[in-house]
Structure 1
Amino acid sequence: MDDALVPGRLSVPSLSALAAFEAAARHGSFTRAAEELNLTQGAVSRQVAHLEKTLGVSLFERVKKRVSLTAAGAAYANEIRDGLSRLAAATVSAMAFRGAAGVLNLAILPTFGTRWLIPRLPRFTEAHPGITINFTTKLVPFDFAREQVDAAVHFGAESWPGARLHRLMGEEVVPVAAPSLLVRTGIAEPADMLRVPLLQQSTRPRAWANWLEQQGLAPERALMGPRFEQFAMIAQAAVAGLGLAIVPRFLVEEELRSGSLVIPIDRPVTGKDGYYLVYPEEKANLPTVIAFRDWLLGECTPAS
């Protein structure tokens, strides 16, 4: 189709025109875009020219054999790149249905995923061999409408607008340290911890303050210490003796069993927040979501 528009209720540029523009924008060259798309340089140039005519704006500035994006072209390229990526992801997901019961795109908290969820997944795949789970990591709540995600494991309050939440579990938070650090510092009571670097988790800024306050200590030093984005990184830093970490007990069970970490003062703190399975209302009846929800809730139910 020569025209850059496809028929329909809305005037939408053709995918071939958008792909030609995106490639030319990314490479800054019609020639390199043509090589990537297995087209001639003239074909790419015509597609871009048709697109500019359709939009009524110039997308490139052409100087001799070089091209550069205009302000409008740069803004449009960012939007188009996101849209084409979504189309590609949707296509891959659709293709994955061949010979399978479906695909579940799941967002997880990285340490929860690697330490707790993934070791249990063989039981899910055995029960649902036709379902493929694709993983991505998200540390904070996000907009399901803007992400290629069917469901997520979330830690926090029971609140996510437009979504259903199922509580999986709470957590006990405890201080941990390498045995060598305890030998060097002589920690014997909570107040002694204030002399040692407190390792911080960036998404739990009040973790140390909450623990110290429950021990009757002022939290002035609660935010002082190196900051890490994930619990797995904090646990490794604690094993290396860089300081004291405050972590959910179930996420460091392996280190506690091996002795690479110990709990110097076993006074756990629990809160109202918990781990939840979350999914948007419009995906509540998706078979893959239902299957994963039922299995996950079963895994989190204490054995009688």
Structure 2
Amino acid sequence: MNGAQRRFLPSIASLRALEALDRLGSATAAAEELNQTQSAVSRQLQALEAQLGTSLIIRERKTMRLTPAAKEYAATIRGALQTIAQASLKVQVNPRGGSLNLAILPTFGMRWLVPRLPDFAARHPEITINMATRLKPFDFAFEPFDAAIHFGNAEWPGTSHLKLRPENMLPVCAPQVLNNVTVAHPRDLLDLPLLHIETRPTAWSQWFDSYGVSPGTVSGTIFDQFSTILQAAIHGLGVALMPDYLVQQDLKNGNLVVAYGGATRPLGAYYLVWPTERSEDRSLKIFRTWLATQAEDEDPLPR
């Protein structure tokens, strides 16, 4: 890097101050997040302006806000700061090889991915997989992940994807829920309490539609994770629409029964998604190549 290039490479501290001010909207909040005083943040921003030779901050009384050009600059450097943070984490946790920071859906990750990971670890001991749960899509620019396990469709902006498996849904409940009840047609389930999963808000409507039933608004209790809705179904709170791979053991031991029919056509699928710009990352390429060997639509899942 020559001298001219170094001139346009400000300190990390000043760039973090600018990014935090843009994202949080106030110097007070930026200082709190950075664990600094407001005066320290102000000095860093002044030094950045001096180095770049341009005004970045509009100062009005006791408030500071970014100029339009500074906001565009902050949006650009945000991704660079995230890349630096990820690279630093990787070299810290696995100095001898690569690592992959992966966001997973809690139930699918634990039931489908984790049982398969020993095979990956045996084949690629040089790569460390770090995992954290996320229930909903997020912006890779703001989260420290290289890839994510995602349910739905492949429409995640700025990403590429690998389909892992479809999700077939099955209406299940505790045996006592059907006592003195005749379910001869899908519409009969509308007379029973229906349990909903927050991440699949239209699942019941789609299920009824697949049988030609137009139920209108489908009300019921909402749960945020499959682990909790499964326990609610087992304890007789109502009928839950569950992925078939999650309920096979409880159907086998009699904790649950099928309320009607069989597994429906897929209402969605699970994907591995990653930022397209990171497609050539070595650890990510190795992981997704291996994962493609596990992505079989009809593959029976480990119990």
Q: TM-score, normalised by structure 1?
A: 0.71
* Alignment partner, residue 111 of structure 1: 107
Matched, 1:93 2:90: yes
Q: Is the 8 Å Cα contact of residues 139 and 203 (structure 1) preserved in structure 2? A: yes
Greater alpha carbon shift after TM alignment, 16-25 vs 140-149 = 16-25
* Alignment partner, residue 220 of structure 1: 216
C-alpha distance in 1 between matches for 2:96 and 2:136: 34
- 5+ residue gaps, structure 2, are none
- 5+ residue gaps, structure 1, are 1-5, 63-67
* Alignment partner, residue 299 of structure 1: 294
Q: Is the 8 Å Cα contact of residues 155 and 276 (structure 1) preserved in structure 2? A: yes
RMSD: 4.1
- Residue 245 of structure 1: CA displacement? 0.9
CA offset digits 1:245-272 (Å, max 9, x no partner): 1111112334334433322223221137
Structure 1 residues 270 and 59, CA, compared in 2 at 3 Å: closer, same or farther?
A: same
C-alpha distance in 1 between matches for 2:82 and 2:139: 17
Aligned mate of 1:251, from 239, 246, 253: 246
C-alpha distance in 2 between matches for 1:153 and 1:159: 13
C-alpha distance in 2 between matches for 1:17 and 1:272: 47
- Residue 60 of structure 1: CA displacement? 8.5
* Alignment partner, residue 116 of structure 2: 120
- Residue 276 of structure 1: CA displacement? 2.4
Structure 1 residues 89 and 160, CA, compared in 2 at 3 Å: closer, same or farther?
A: closer
* Alignment partner, residue 236 of structure 2: 241
CA offset digits 1:233-290 (Å, max 9, x no partner): 3223322332211111112334334433322223221137322223344433333223
Report the count of equivalent residues.
283
C-alpha distance in 2 between matches for 1:154 and 1:28: 31
C-alpha distance in 1 between matches for 2:234 and 2:120: 32
The AA in structure 2 aligned to 1:110 is P
| Secondary structure in 1 matching 2:149 | strand
C-alpha distance in 2 between matches for 1:52 and 1:234: 54
C-alpha distance in 2 between matches for 1:167 and 1:20: 39
Matched, 1:180 2:162: no
C-alpha distance in 2 between matches for 1:228 and 1:260: 19
| Secondary structure in 2 matching 1:299 | coil
C-alpha distance in 2 between matches for 1:194 and 1:286: 49
